[in-house]
Amino acid sequence: MSQQNLEPLDVERLREDFPILEREFDGQPLVYLDNAATTQTADPVVDAMSDYYRRYNANVHRGIHHLSQEASIAYEEAHDRVADFIGAGGREEVVFTKNTTEAENLVAHSWGLEELGPGDEIVLTEMEHHASLVTWQQIGKRTGADVKYIRIDENGRLDMDHARELVTDDTAMLSAVHVSNTLGTVNPVSELVDLAHDHDALAFIDGAQAVPNRPVDVEAIDADFYAFSGHKMAGPTGIGVLYGKEELLEEMQPYLYGGDMITKVTFEDSTWNELPWKFEAGTPQIAEAIGLVAAIDYLEGIGMERIEAHERELARYAYEQLSAHSDVEIYGPEPGPDRGGLVGFNLEGVHAHDLASIMNDYAVAIRAGDHCTQPLHDKLGVAASARASFYIYNTREEIDALVDAIDSARQLFA
């Protein structure tokens, strides 16, 4: 279905599922535009987690009593639900982690330390989040592998000619962000994955800003690894997902050792449990996994295509409103299919932190700083930027409130 034919979201109705949005500060309604940092948690998610704690709280895979059986089933089936949501082959390919960052680290340590060495190359993009950039940079240092960066052009898009130059038969891993948390750029991930595969390299896609707001099919993308976080999709903190192709996860060594990830242990040696438990040592995030399932049910109930269209429309509106002012510099591509639901910008003569602080006086919550993309900010020639990021419950009126608050900042600093 084309995006034009999609039924718009009933935002007023959805907002009822997020009571936090009713909060006021100094008599002004909260305008929450910091969704790329974390989204608010939907009531059905809170209810599902509370139901677990109230009715069947127990450790998983450890007890034969009723509660442990119920908790174990819910926890295991959460993997099936996630697999279904992202188009993975099955629960074997879905590892629960703490967040996207831990998923990156899992692969970098488990696969990278084992497989990389001098002469190998890791290709990243200039718009990587530190979760990917710092991780692969440090693994490069430890293994002797070189790290190279695909350039961005003046519009904040990847220079794909440069990508084709950089990815060679020496490339062992290409790690790229699906949607940039700073520029809003939606990268051509299938093309990047194909490029990596043409050179027998693996591809890791960081989907932290993609899975919450658009349909994602990891098998269609053909990513070898794909990661995202529950807290950016109306779900709980403390849970993230690493998708990995089964044959790769099978070959990899565990990242964490301990209980539940073993089959047999002697004083001399140990053998590993089957996937995905091999990568889930210790008591896992049981309530969070249950909450993540509730978040997925909630988002799919709305429809991922509709969510994508809603965010794109808000981003377009915000872009238009902000770009009407010549003293506002906006980063990233113009509105269109390759811009996600966030707008990063700076107001001339006002530090982004001051701007966010003035916004806060009007109860408008935005993020200011380097957004964990310091090298990208260096490239943009700024120390920091302000960022408004949208989700299912945001409205055009809230963007108007943002623009009004920017006006006030402008007057204050004039």
Closest approach, Cβ 266 to ligand C6P, in A, equals 36
Catalytic residue status for 372: yes
Query: Over the range 272-302, which residues count as b (16 or more CB within 10 Å of their CB) and which as e?
Result: bbebbbbbbbeebbbbbbbbbbbbbebbeeb
Tally of CB atoms within 10 A around 154:
6
CB of 102 to ligand C6P, least distance (A): 7
372 binds ligand C6P (CB under 6 A): yes
Nearer to ligand C6P, 177 or 403 (CB): 177
The residues, any chain, with a CB within 8 Å of residue 356's CB and separated by 6 or more, are 366, 367, 368, 386
> Of 229, 273, 346, 394, which lies in the binding site for ligand C6P, with binding defined by CB under 6 A?
229
Phi-psi region of 234 (alpha: psi -120 to 50; beta: other; left: phi over 0): left
Of the residues 39, 41, 100, 125, which one makes contact with ligand C6P according to CB under 6 A: 100
Among 171, 181, 273, 385, which residue interacts with ligand C6P (rule: CB under 6 A)? 181
Q: Does 213 bind ligand C6P (CB under 6 A)?
A: no
- Number of residues assigned to the chain: 414
CA 111/CA 104 separation, integer angstroms: 10
With CB under 6 A as the contact rule, the residue among 157, 245, 367, 410 that binds ligand C6P is 367
**Residue 311 engages ligand C6P in binding (rule: CB under 6 A):** no
135 contributes a contact to ligand C6P by CB under 6 A? no
- Interface with ligand C6P, residue 131, by CB under 6 A: yes
Residue 410: alpha-carbon gap to chain centroid: 32
Tell me, by CB under 6 A, how many residues bind ligand C6P. 17
Q: Where are the alpha helices (DSSP H) in 285-413?
A: 286-302, 304-323, 352-361, 374-380, 396-413
The residues, any chain, with a CB within 8 Å of residue 155's CB and separated by 6 or more, are 332, 333, 334
- The reply on whether position 97 binds ligand C6P by CB under 6 A is no
- Catalytic member of 6, 21, 372, 382: 372
Q: Which is nearer to ligand C6P, 140 or 207 (CB)?
A: 207
Cα separation, 186 vs 323, whole angstroms: 20
Of 4-63, which residues contact ligand C6P (CB under 6 A)? 36-37
Under the criterion CB under 6 A, does residue 203 sit at the interface with ligand C6P? no
Pairing of strands 171-177, 385-389: unpaired
**Least distance to ligand C6P, CB of residue 228, Å:** 8
Binding residues vs ligand C6P (CB under 6 A)? 36-37, 99-101, 129, 131, 177, 181, 206, 208-209, 229, 240, 367, 371-372
**Which residue numbers are catalytic?**
372
